[in-house]
Amino acid sequence: MSYQLLVVLSFVLFVIGMIGVAMRRNIIIVLISLELMLNAVNILFVAASKYLHTMDGQIFVIMVITIAAAETAIALALVVKIFKTVGMVKIDDMKKLKW
């Protein structure tokens, strides 16, 4: 369980999430991929916290979790609003800014 291995794992997970954000057209799956990217970063923070013997990384993970929760709430509220307005949850349908 070396540090390099954890960095590689975190990087791989981040890239998988990034592929999801870039390639999926369903807005809910895009949001899920966003959460997965944040989670991959959290793994890296905790790994660095373990190998540097300091608590700063773990404190930062708590902050990231807080921001992620607020972000998810707002994003899902937006999804509901878009669904009520446009009637679809595909990203390609969101071309207009007016409602």
Q: Is 94 in the site for another protein (CB under 8 A)?
A: no
Amino acid at 50: K
92 exposure class (CB count in 10 Å sphere: 0-12, 13-18, 19+): exposed
Helix (H, G, I), strand (E, B) or coil at 90: strand
* Residue among 16, 25, 90, 93 that touches another protein (CB under 8 A): 16
> Which two tokens mark 13?
């997970």
In the complex, minimum distance from the CB of residue 95 to another protein, in angstroms, rounded to a whole number = 19
Q: Name which of residues 32 to 91 contact another protein (CB under 8 A).
A: 32-33, 35-36, 39, 42-43, 46-47, 49-50, 53, 55-56, 58-59, 61-63, 65-74, 76-81, 83, 89
In the block, which residue shows the tokens 């369980």? 1
Q: Which residues of 31-46 are buried (b: 16+ CB within 10 A; e: fewer)?
A: bbbbebbbbbbbbbbb
| Residue ranges that bind another protein, judged by CB under 8 A | 1, 5-6, 9, 12-13, 16-17, 19-20, 24, 26, 28-29, 31-33, 35-36, 39, 42-43, 46-47, 49-50, 53, 55-56, 58-59, 61-63, 65-74, 76-81, 83, 89
